[in-house]
Amino acid sequence: MWQRLLIYLLLLLLLGIVVGGGYLIVLLVQVSRMLPSSEQIVNLKPYEGTRILSQDGVVLATLTNERRELAKLSEFPKTLIDAVVAVEDSQFFQHRGISPRAVFRAVWVNLREGRYAQGGSTITMQLARNAFLTQKKTFHRKLQEALLALQMEQYLTKEQILETYLNEVYFGSGAYGAKTAARVYFNKSLSQLTLAECALLAGVIRRPSVYSPHQNPQLALSRRDIVLERMRALGFIDGEQYEQAKSEPLRVVPLRRQGIRYKAPYFVFHVLKQLAEDYGEEQIYRAGLTVETTLHWQMQQAAEQALREGVARYGRGAVTQGALVAIDPQTGYIRAMVGGVDFSKSQYNATTQGRRQPGSAFKPIVYCAAIDKGVLTPDSRIVDAPVSYPSYPRPYRPKNADGRYRGAVTVRQAIAYSINIPAVKTIAMVGPQTVIEYARKLGIQSPLEPNLSLALGSSAVRPIEMAVAYGVFATGGNRCEPIAIVRVRDSEGNIIQENAPNITYGVISQNTARTMDELLQTPVRMPGGTAYRVLRDFPEARGKTGTTDEGRDAWFVGYTPELVTAVWVAREVYDAAREQKVYLPMPRVFGGTVCAPIWRDFMSKAVPLQKEWLRKRAPEEVPQRTQQPESVDTVTLTLCDDTGMLASPYCPRTHRFTFRRGEEPRQPCTLHGAAPDIGVEPAGEAAEAPTERAEPPAVSPPSPAEPEVPPPAMTVPGSLSGGSDAVTLPPRSSDPAPVAAPAPPRLSEPPKVTAPPPPERVRICADSGLLASRYCPEVLVKTFPAGRAPGKRCNLHRPPPGEQ
């Protein structure tokens, strides 16, 4: 019985071998017919270059494989040959094109990882793939690669294969061949390369887009050390050479394209990174693609000019670096991108790679969370006074940038004047985690620390993320992901990739977006706003300034309905001792004095270009834009600068502001009093009527027998008021302020009118809001209605020790 079973098993095994062998023979015959001839192996043809186009048809870059300098095998240093053989194919001089050991090792790794993690390709197989095959990781292509390697070993010697490989292989940054790579990375000839530099070049070959020292210097160093360790293990170098090479610092020259000038270089490399992920970096230079992008060349020129000249003109000699990115908020199309002041000096793209603290430019995200949650309205008043948070992981005592405290301020004033204390109190009430959730909704992807200082921009973000976040306010609550590539065509003109706008609708409510859009007009339109002096003549502008501690970073992020733009500047210097860039304080540099003017200079040219492009393009060629909120009726009122309420004749400083009808404040100023209605219109600008589109809300005088009842207020738990645990919010706009109706006068007897007592003018401490003493550093003279002046004297500023 056992003998019969054994015979059956042997027959089945033999049958499997015959069937499998037959299938393999058929497959080998089919694959071998697709292999190039020996003549083709000798005569390789150059590939067509890839073109990158702007949306208005300008050629930004032409990428070809012409950056290759050929060299004889004798010109390559022995250390470079040893490094390449050590890390890529240690059995190169023993095998005949295929290394069984490498194949079995690759199979074991792939089975262990559960994916295609390692290919087991020899140097000959890599040369076969690079010269004749695609980069797809399939069994069919792998079989072609192996057969072609065996064929090449029949026609070429090991020396010829190695020489061709070192001239053919891609080293990243557009450099083909080791001789070109030596120039691109080190500006040296082959004979001048050190052991450490040879090891670095050999390490780049495996994954050029990852290990390129221009893109990832730290990963390149780690990879170099792995190559050195491999060379020592194989006996190519001794321990002393290993230690000496490992201690050598990375000295890479800035990337320069020899014979090729790139327009918009930061944007071009941003596009190249995406193409490398989709098609493989090597094929970009050989496949003859046509890449149509979102960039508008004239806007790009305006952006480069505005940043370059703005840093020189407004930077007061302290600013050395900056960045600007402009996005169409309705589609996410990147219209301009400038990652630095001078690409020849730094290829680091600060708009997409750099993370810097945004300072007060982050505050709108905090207020957006509170408003969307229904906690605050634009007219909510928050006490701006010293506050401490002992429950914080360490005692946290935020301060205002100017050291002043203004008492009760509205959310409008807090944003317009960029006051720190109200922002911190707001995040303390809604919670840092809630603010982070809203930041994610708006498009902030950088890590954010869940602490109170997040309200002041303590967590670093990218400029492009800030532009996306502000774009949500411009679109009525919809987030558009930034897009750089519209479509890609192959060498025959066929579309192989097309990207439509990626829009997430309703990340915040339309009402919240409208409210934030209104609030972001205050820094520009409200007198004293942080960008008022620069942008008051730019009627469509909305935005927010940002300046970090010690002035190490300055920002302005703003938008119009057509374009959202983020501007960042800093004082960047290279610290030779630490071998890294550092950012130094910039005295007298603020977001409103440097970044806002740069933003204005760019947007004054870019917005008309964007409008013109939208008007000229055929409807089918213009991407579907997000729906704009319907126009609403508005009313313009005169407000008190101190309270944000309806101004009275006694308010010393006022301003005009436009509201959506139904959302305007209804309560007259309670700080400076109101004149009684005795049938005489009070004189002065504060009594000016609203614009012609609407009349001011009627407020009747109180009856002598029935005193005026103030509008009901609602309180919200929290720590917004500093000295108490509640913040007082005004009544909802939909609820009219209840007032008492006056008693009608009798015809025979006119109503008696008693003149009010004269107002009081007193000296007030600017920090505490109480009666000033001679020790208060800053004193304001204010007018109060009779009996309403503060009764207590300032207790913040005391006499120095020894003085009574």
Could you confirm whether 360 is annotated as catalytic?
yes
Q: How far is CA 285 from CA 64, 90, 276, 278, in A?
A: 5, 29, 10, 13
- Is the separation of the CB atoms in 408 and 382 below 8 Å? yes
Please return the burial class of 587, using the count of CB atoms within 10 Å of its CB with bins 0-12, 13-18 and 19+.
Answer: exposed
Torsion sign (Cα): 69, 70, 71, 76 = positive
Q: CA-CA distance, 789 to 686, in Å (whole number)?
A: 21
DSSP code for 214: T
329 phi and psi, to 5 degrees? -70, -20
Q: CA-CA distance, 177 to 164, in Å (whole number)?
A: 9
DSSP H helical segments within 156-216, as ranges?
A: 158-168, 178-186, 195-204, 208-211
Q: Which residues pair with 497 in a beta bridge?
A: 488
Which of 88, 145, 282, 664 does the annotation list as catalytic? 88
Please return the burial class of 531, using the count of CB atoms within 10 Å of its CB with bins 0-12, 13-18 and 19+.
Answer: buried
Which of 121, 212, 360, 380 does the annotation list as catalytic? 360
At which residue do the structure tokens 């948070």 appear? Answer: 389
**CA 336 to the chain's CA centroid:** 13
Count CB-CB contacts under 10 A for residue 147.
19
Question: Coil, strand, or helix at residue 696?
Answer: coil
Structure tokens at 442: 């708006």
- Is the separation of the CB atoms in 765 and 792 below 8 Å? no
**CA 277 to the chain's CA centroid:** 20
Identify the H or E element spanning 489: strand 485-489
- Is the separation of the CB atoms in 157 and 133 below 8 Å? no
Structure tokens at 371: 């408003």
Can you spell out the DSSP letters for 86-108? HHH-TTTTTSSS--HHHHHHHHH
**Torsion of Cα atoms, 523 then 524 then 529 then 533, to 10°:** 150
Question: Coil, strand, or helix at residue 351?
Answer: coil
- Is the separation of the CB atoms in 146 and 170 below 8 Å? no
Contacts of 101 (CB under 8 A, 6+ apart): 91
Could you confirm whether 388 is annotated as catalytic?
no
Contacts of 157 (CB under 8 A, 6+ apart): none
In three state form, how does the secondary structure of 704-748 look?
A: CCECCCCCCCEEEECCCCCCCCEEEECCCCCCCCCCCCCCCCECC
**Torsion of Cα atoms, 546 then 548 then 554 then 557, to 10°:** -30
Count CB-CB contacts under 10 A for residue 705.
8
What one-letter code names the amino acid at 458?
S
Count CB-CB contacts under 10 A for residue 583.
18
Contacts of 606 (CB under 8 A, 6+ apart): 296, 299, 302, 303, 326, 335, 336, 563, 565
Give 2's Cβ-side CA count (13 Å radius). Answer: 0
Angle between helices 432-442 and 363-372 (to 10 degrees): 100
Catalytic residues: 88, 360
